[in-house]
């Protein structure tokens, strides 16, 4: 569908096929379930799949799925708007006109599904690119050329030189490693990665890529399909000019089975992966490193570049309380693929940085972003939740926040009023922020044990993933709390006023107060631009609240001398009387 517009896109994800999208797919696939999504227009999209025919069966509804993915993400845009690959999708568009939306929107990350699903005619070899290299990239111009692979691969018979050639054909780059064993391992690994050897038609056995005899599921249609595709691939492999010819004597050929662009998912664990490092494991299936693995290594290699696989993986433990903090994550989509060096199997190889988009279950908590005040929808949707997802808790909390608010923390109708407005602008501001830079990234599940904590900002900065914009009601509660207990009694305020909002810690309150303070005094001299001049992309705090903050600050002598000087210039009492 969209492939016409970007035929030159060269997949380079072959290094690390296990993308987040895989993970997504994994969810879908492994559960062997059908997902029903109800769209706005009450259309129902159904996605069903099974492992072996993912790509093929997917086609008819891929658009919808794509939409679904967006759809799903869309709901996260408010508070975690970065989450979406394409933030421009409007809910209103999730209507009958799927195609339109699909066409007009690009889905950089959703490429996995997008590309292979959409392009049934397209090149199945194209690994969905982590980023779509626009022009010159380290590996932009390369893609694995398996077209010469037919039959069985017997790496053992190859000379080092041949292995080099094969290596290049497989990975698209040269290697200087002379170790045959290593080369063989890497090649077979690469092959397995790109062809889904392990889970489909091929198995790797003693450095041989063999075709399973007993596999037939995907032979009939798939064969044709893939053959065509392979051919097409060859033809389009314009950029692969330096693909090393393996020579006529080569026996390396592969009768293509590419499970629909690597659709099959492997829930590879580092363990498995490492296991493969050992030679001669008979029929053990090859696992490819998960993105998780890569990320972790990528994290750890910044400090210990000699880190053994085992150690890096293990040390980064997946313990519930472990907070993985990726050092380099997320390259803006569409930027040249960034790679890093990593020692795999004993040599340094390039591995693309991966962006942690979102992993794990499909998001089911898209309403978290809803401000506390928005009760109705929230409640409705809440029903859809399992209730055990941590996110759900937050929603409950949010709702409770709201209740609390209504219960009396907010005694100033005026504030409340402007609050409503602000809610809106707050969210839209957030949305805008996230889509403006052209890089759209996703928030991971905020509460998932392991998730991304930072997200690139349009300005290049990294914003923390955990950032949950303060809603006005929260701010109001904070203010009230301060007025009641005094600034500094954060734990008290937390305990009382924010008892139900567990996601705000006392430290958060303190920080927020600090900000409020700053804001209130900073904006006062102007005294007119007020909240509308939200140049700072953050929540525009309504003037009334800011005034209150100032007042409280004064009362509690929190005002720094210089600020005092500033503020003394304006007549607070007038304003104050107006609101209180």
For residue 558, the minimal CB distance to DNA (Å) is: 9
Interacting stretch for DNA, rule CB under 7 A, among 151-159, 395-403, 500-508, 544-552? 500-508
The DSSP code sequence of 197-260 is TTTSSEEEETTEEEE-SS--TTTHHHHHHHHHHHHHHHHHGGGGGGPPP--TT---B-----TT
**Crossing angle of helices 472-485/490-497, nearest 10°?**
120
- For residue 121, count other CB atoms closer than 10 A to its CB: 12
Interacting stretch for DNA, rule CB under 7 A, among 88-96, 183-191, 194-202, 499-507? 499-507
Contact 58, 65 (CB under 8 A): yes
Contact 214, 202 (CB under 8 A): no
Among 425, 491, 537, 570, binds DNA (CB under 7 A): 491
Does residue 432 touch DNA according to CB under 7 A? no
Closer Cβ to DNA, 402 or 468, answer by number: 468
Among 146, 490, 498, 521, binds DNA (CB under 7 A): 490
Site residues (CB under 7 A) for DNA, limited to 152-211:
none
Interacting stretch for DNA, rule CB under 7 A, among 142-150, 464-472, 522-530, 540-548? 464-472
Among 60, 235, 390, 488, binds DNA (CB under 7 A): 488
Among 184, 292, 402, 504, binds DNA (CB under 7 A): 504
Closer Cβ to DNA, 239 or 538, answer by number: 538
Does residue 522 touch DNA according to CB under 7 A? no
Does residue 484 touch DNA according to CB under 7 A? no
Closer Cβ to DNA, 168 or 494, answer by number: 494
Closer Cβ to DNA, 436 or 447, answer by number: 447
Does residue 59 touch DNA according to CB under 7 A? no
Does residue 552 touch DNA according to CB under 7 A? no
For residue 487, the minimal CB distance to DNA (Å) is: 7
* Sign of the torsion angle spanned by Cα atoms 189, 190, 193, 195: negative
379 to 408: interface string for DNA, x by CB under 7 A: ------------------------------
The Cα–Cα gap between 503 and 311 comes to 33
Does residue 325 touch DNA according to CB under 7 A? yes
The Cα–Cα gap between 281 and 276 comes to 7
Closer Cβ to DNA, 2 or 76, answer by number: 76
What phi-psi label fits residue 557: left (phi over 0), alpha (psi between -120 and 50 degrees) or beta?
Answer: left
For residue 113, the minimal CB distance to DNA (Å) is: 31
Residue written as tokens 């919808």?
Answer: 64
Closer Cβ to DNA, 284 or 484, answer by number: 484
The kind and range of the H/E element at 454 are strand 454-456
Does residue 474 touch DNA according to CB under 7 A? no
Closer Cβ to DNA, 259 or 471, answer by number: 471
For residue 369, the minimal CB distance to DNA (Å) is: 12
- Rg of the Cα atoms in the chain: 27
**3-class DSSP state for residue 304?**
coil
What is the CB-side half-sphere exposure of residue 110 using CA atoms within 13 A?
Answer: 28
What phi-psi label fits residue 280: left (phi over 0), alpha (psi between -120 and 50 degrees) or beta?
Answer: left
Among 178, 323, 379, 459, binds DNA (CB under 7 A): 323
Among 364, 511, 534, 537, binds DNA (CB under 7 A): 511
For residue 184, the minimal CB distance to DNA (Å) is: 42
Q: Which long-range contacts (CB under 8 A, 24 or more apart) does 499-505 make?
A: 499/404, 500/397, 500/400, 500/401, 500/403, 500/404, 501/397, 501/398, 501/400, 501/401, 501/474, 501/477, 502/393, 502/394, 502/397, 503/394, 503/397, 503/468, 504/474
Does residue 223 touch DNA according to CB under 7 A? no
Among 432, 506, 537, 570, binds DNA (CB under 7 A): 506
Contact 509, 491 (CB under 8 A): no
The DSSP code sequence of 505-548 is -HHHHHHHHHHHHHHHHHHTTT-SSGGGG-TTSS----HHHHHH
276 to 315: interface string for DNA, x by CB under 7 A: ----------------------------------------
For residue 464, the minimal CB distance to DNA (Å) is: 5
Closer Cβ to DNA, 49 or 394, answer by number: 394
Does residue 503 touch DNA according to CB under 7 A? yes
Does residue 453 touch DNA according to CB under 7 A? yes
Residues that bind DNA (CB under 7 A): 323, 325, 453, 464, 466-468, 487-492, 503-508, 510-511
């Amino acid at each position: 569908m969209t492939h016409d517009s970007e035929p030159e896109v060269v997949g380079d994800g072959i290094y690390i096929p296990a993308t987040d999208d895989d993970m997504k797919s994994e969810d879908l696939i492994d559960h062997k379930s059908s997902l029903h999504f109800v769209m706005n227009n009450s259309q129902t999209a159904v996605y069903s799949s099974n492992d072996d025919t993912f790509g093929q069966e997917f086609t008819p509804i891929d658009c919808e799925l794509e939409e679904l993915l967006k759809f799903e993400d869309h709901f996260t845009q408010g508070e975690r708007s970065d989450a979406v690959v394409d933030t421009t999708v409007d809910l209103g568009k999730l209507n009958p006109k799927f195609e339109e939306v699909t066409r007009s929107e690009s889905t950089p990350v959703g490429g996995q599904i997008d590309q292979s699903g959409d392009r049934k005619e397209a090149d199945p070899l194209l690994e969905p690119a982590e980023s779509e290299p626009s022009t010159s990239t380290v590996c932009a111009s390369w893609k694995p050329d398996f077209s010469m692979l037919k039959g069985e691969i017997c790496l053992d018979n190859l000379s080092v030189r041949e292995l080099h050639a094969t290596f290049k054909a497989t990975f698209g780059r040269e290697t200087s490693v002379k170790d045959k064993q290593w080369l063989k391992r890497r090649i077979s690994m690469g092959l397995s990665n790109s062809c889904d050897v392990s889970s489909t038609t091929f198995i790797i056995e003693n450095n041989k890529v063999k075709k399973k005899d007993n596999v037939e599921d995907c032979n009939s249609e798939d064969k044709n399909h893939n053959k065509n595709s392979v051919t097409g691939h060859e033809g389009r492999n314009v950029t692969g000019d330096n693909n090393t010819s393996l020579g006529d004597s080569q026996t390396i050929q592969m009768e293509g089975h590419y499970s629909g662009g690597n659709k099959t998912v492997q829930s590879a664990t580092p363990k498995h992966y490492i296991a493969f490092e050992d030679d001669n494991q008979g029929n053990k299936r090859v696992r490819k490193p998960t993105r998780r693995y890569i990320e972790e290594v990528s994290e750890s290699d910044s400090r210990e570049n000699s880190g053994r696989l085992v150690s890096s993986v293990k040390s980064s433990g997946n313990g519930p309380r472990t907070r993985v903090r990726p050092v380099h994550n997320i390259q803006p989509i569409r930027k040249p693929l960034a790679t890093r060096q990593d020692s795999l199997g004993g040599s340094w190889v390039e591995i693309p940085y991966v962006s942690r988009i979102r992993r794990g279950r499909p998001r089911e908590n898209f309403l978290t972003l809803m401000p506390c005040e928005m009760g109705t929808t929230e409640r409705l949707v809440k029903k859809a939740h399992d209730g055990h997802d941590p996110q759900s808790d937050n929603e409950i909390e949010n709702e409770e926040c709201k209740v609390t608010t209504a219960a009396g923390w907010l005694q100033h109708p005026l504030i409340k009023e402007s609050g409503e407005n602000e809610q809106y602008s707050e969210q839209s501001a957030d949305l805008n922020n996230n889509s403006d830079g052209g890089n759209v990234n996703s928030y991971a599940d905020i509460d998932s044990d392991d998730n991304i904590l930072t997200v690139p900002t349009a300005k290049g900065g990294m914003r923390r993933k955990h950032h949950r914009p303060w809603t006005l009601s929260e701010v109001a509660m904070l203010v009230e709390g301060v007025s009641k207990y005094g600034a500094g009694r954060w734990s008290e305020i937390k305990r009382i006023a924010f008892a139900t909002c567990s996601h705000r810690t006392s430290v958060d309150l303190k920080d927020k107060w600090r900000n409020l303070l700053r804001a209130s005094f900073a904006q006062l001299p102007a005294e007119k631009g007020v909240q509308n001049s939200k140049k700072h992309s953050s929540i525009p705090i309504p003037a009334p609240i800011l005034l209150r903050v100032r007042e409280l600050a004064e009362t509690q002598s929190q005002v720094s001398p210089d600020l005092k000087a500033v503020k003394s210039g304006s007549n607070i009492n007038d304003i104050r009387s107006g609101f209180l």
